[in-house]
Amino acid sequence: MTGRRSGANRNNKKTARSQGTHQNGLATPASIRIDKWLWAARFFKTRSLASDAVKSGKICIDDEKTKPSKEITIGKKISIKRSPYNKTVIVRGISHRRGPASIAETLYEETLDSIQNRQHLEQLRQAQPALRHTGHGRPTKRERRQIIAFTAKPEE
């Protein structure tokens, strides 16, 4: 042999990253970076936004703050804090690609407590009157009447 490597030997090696369960006929990785998973699961539009959220402490893995390079595996519990709601999800699948929303939903399962808390916050938000800062935008009917009454010339 002249010192050349066989292509078959090189292609048959499996790395720890490429081993995993099969999903939809394709091999899925065993672990993935948290920022990449958040992007693939469509929690953030870009990986840099996901990375910034992890750096700022808005993402916790098993109730511990982490770094964007942290590898996650199936079964990990991830807490995502996005104003005004907090989501707690369990990783059910891993993907290196960002696919359609229907496939992204299969990558995680939201916990029952998280769903109930979100619904409770939504009910509270809907029960509150609409917030409007005074002096911003077009006056309301009531404000217009007050302006007219204030600026009207007194009758003599």
Q: Which two tokens stand for residue 63?
A: 């109730």
What is the separation of C-alpha 103 from the centre of its chain, rounded to a whole number of angstroms?
15
User: Strand pairing of 77-82 and 71-72?
Assistant: unpaired
User: Quick one: the chain helix, strand, coil %, rounded to 5?
Assistant: 35, 20, 45
Instruction: Report the C-alpha gap between 77 and 108 in whole angstroms.
Output: 10
CATH 3.40.50.300 fits 20-127, yes or no: no
pLDDT digits (tens, 9 = 90+) for 50-70: 999 999 999 999 989 999 999
Which of the four pLDDT bands, split at 50, 70 and 90, describes residue 16?
Answer: very low
